[in-house]
Structure 1
Amino acid sequence: MQKKSMIGLSQNQIKLFAAAAMVLDHVGMELLPQWTILRIIGRLAFPVFSYCICEGSRRTYHPWQYLLRLFGMGLLCMWAYYVYDKTVYGNILITFSLSLCVLYAFQYLQTCWRKNKLALRFAGVAVMLGCVGGIWLICDWMIIDYGFYGVMLPLFAELPACIGEKYSDAGDKRDWIRLCGFSVGLLVVSLQIGGIQIFSLLAIPFLLAYNGTRGEKNLKHFFYWFYPVHLLLIGLVSMCI
């Protein structure tokens, strides 16, 4: 569903902004480590993409295809990381794949809870707890970008939005509640990671400007390929220097 208001930034626009910030971040990490400002700007990328994952989980017509595409690209990047430096690293696409899993589990819990049947509610709680517990074990077993709290960040946007049914027909109010919850989660992630991660809070004004529309063009495939392609290009430049 798209809002009628065209005031503000579309999802395409805020994701392009986040993509540019990510490029600067990785250039600063690989090519210009002395330029701390690039890493600071790069802190703006993760919150924007994380919030868009939350949006996508609610709006997609093909949730499992969405998850499989994201996870497939994440596995491709994992393989590339392993070939490059022999490490098993859960890149940001793996982080977002796990975020989608916990969001889908929460949506299932909500569906079961509305049925008002004890067995279904028990099943919903079991699925949710099993998903969160499984993700915690994965994050403990291997390096996942932004860690357990980073994976859970989109859930901070969904939990406050289901406080009361009175918000079910008030889209703007519900979006404000989501953004408030997300901001709290982002603060938790920033404090947990420490250092310059606190600058990720500067992404909140850009999310406030988000008008809820996707934008005129479908850039879905561009954003799927952007992450591995820009890393490959930066890696090639790094090897040539």
Structure 2
Amino acid sequence: MSNILQTENKDWFSEWFNTPYYHILYKDRNDEEAQLFMDNLTHYLNLPEDAKILDLACGKGRHSIYLNNLGYQVTGVDISSNSIKIANQSANEKLHFHVHDMREPLEQEYDAIFNLFTSFGYFDQDIDNIKTLQAIKNSLNEYGFGVIDFLNADYIIANLVPEETKTVDGIDFHIKRYVENKKIIKEIKFSDKGQDFHFQEKVAALTLEDFEQMMEACDINLLDIFGDYKLHKFYKNQSERLIMIFK
């Protein structure tokens, strides 16, 4: 029986992030690296001891949970109900999770809003990226900081691995990567239990200049730029990450 899932009519992330296969493929993400980044970031921002932090597009909540362990009041939101269901297993009085679309405004203000691990630029329409920035801006308090941790498109495109196969939990994920219409696209095909699956990841190839233009349009002040999780200087042709701090 063949069950090839198409994502043309629905947002790709609504489909892919809600499948168990998304979590299988990315199960070996580096938690130590993520925690080091949170240590460096919170130290750099010098946040109040009991700061309210929003983890925007939190997935299963790995950053949220660690930030909460550091003592912060953390809210994690994500469009994937399955991810939030898993994250909620770790909820407590100072750690909450909700299903939320990042384009929509939030009901309260935060000392910091973190959008981490390339959780931006998923939408087909450029206006949705603007809506997301506007929602972040409107949900920061007077002294609050916004942080977007994005891929460095220039570096990623120059070092793109066109094809590879990753075997995780006995499933062979056949992955193709290419650039089309200013988007970095990852095709993911695999078979499991007699069914064939096909998913796409599409991320806008946004450069620092693109972000600067969008932030200017939203009246957002870009304060600092880093190129990796140790907060080293950003180099257009060498840095793997594009980490932006703004108010």
Which structure would you say has the larger RCO, counting Cα contacts within 8 Å and 6 or more residues apart? 1
TM-score, structure 2 length as denominator? 0.29
**Structure with greater proportional strand content:** 2
Greater helix content = 1
TM-score between the two structures when normalised by the length of structure 1: 0.29
